Structure 1
């Protein structure tokens, strides 16, 4: 069976603890079509945690790189069959955006930056206790300087942010941030 058109991709980009996962879960009942919420943490959580030997730092870095590249392609595979996908993923390394621009060529990608104040990120990290202290503040996730939407979870609930996104999706211009970023990249201009 061949799909007539690829699915859409909604990329929730923000620092760890900014509320991406909560927004993604809140979006599912608001969107009229079936969507898959595919957070990168779910992919990482599928990896075995027991190893027969201790991995060196460069081996860990290579494993994480393979995992993230695989995640990009898993999302593309779902969307290639007409599935709409919500990504919960920080663009915290420049190569991640570059790879996604290539892998998701031809797809309707909506880039949503999820902002949160530094004080609130620190507070959430302390409450969660499942991330290294300072991780959120160490992530540079907005260097691309182009996006389709911005929501801020500092003083707004995930449900309120999800409502803004769901309402805005149909009204967004057909020229989206990923298209503009890809055009700048192919023209040899910086992403900013």
Structure 2
């Protein structure tokens, strides 16, 4: 069975990833799933019989994100094409994705936006902690991508059109393959002594 493709929209909160993903779907020639991490997080119960402490909350969020990675991998493994809306805010996220999406054609799209515009959007949305977007500068710390767009002054539709146009022309090896080479675990040497 042919594996599906993945387009990973990576950028800080309020950069426009979700809007780009929605605008991108009708521009792609094949059927694609838009699977934002917020959709998976939104399936989790919000009412608990007890309050989770900081460590439990952190572990629950990590499990959720690891599960999200595997949902995308499962869809791709059965031939489905997936657009991910997901910020690479923690190094382990990228490392885990490099592992679970090994063998999948992944196109990494970095979605940029000026800090001033991110702060304005965050205030307007009102559903994010103040300063969240500004705190997510590390989403680009991996230092590689296949496509970059900037939503500071461009609409999501224009960015989506740019991605759809450039997608078939992205050269290989792609960013995920290059990054996988940088993140390769060293092979333990066996002793030649008996």
Give the TM-score, by structure 2 length. 0.94
User: In the alignment, does 2:163 pair up with 1:165?
Assistant: yes
CA offsets 1:88-115 (integer angstroms, 9 cap, x no match) = 0000000000000000000000000000
Q: What residue number does 2:141 align with?
A: 143
User: In the alignment, does 2:15 pair up with 1:11?
Assistant: no
Q: What residue number does 2:184 align with?
A: 186
**Structure 1 residue 174 displacement after superposition:** 2.4
User: In the alignment, does 2:155 pair up with 1:176?
Assistant: no
- Would you identify which runs of 4 or more consecutive aligned residues in structure 1 move more than 2 Å? none
For the aligned residues, what is the CA RMSD?
Answer: 0.8
Q: How many corresponding residue pairs?
A: 185
* Higher Rg of the two aligned structures: 2
Q: What residue number does 2:32 align with?
A: 35
CA distance in 2, matches of 1:186, 1:91: 18
SS at structure 1 position matched to 2:26: coil
Q: What residue number does 2:54 align with?
A: 57
SS at structure 2 position matched to 1:26: helix
**Structure 1 residue 185 displacement after superposition:** 1.4
| Runs of 5+ unmatched residues, structure 1 | none
Q: What residue number does 1:124 align with?
A: 121
User: Which of 101, 111, 114 is matched with 1:114 structurally?
Assistant: 111
CA distance in 1, matches of 2:185, 2:33: 33
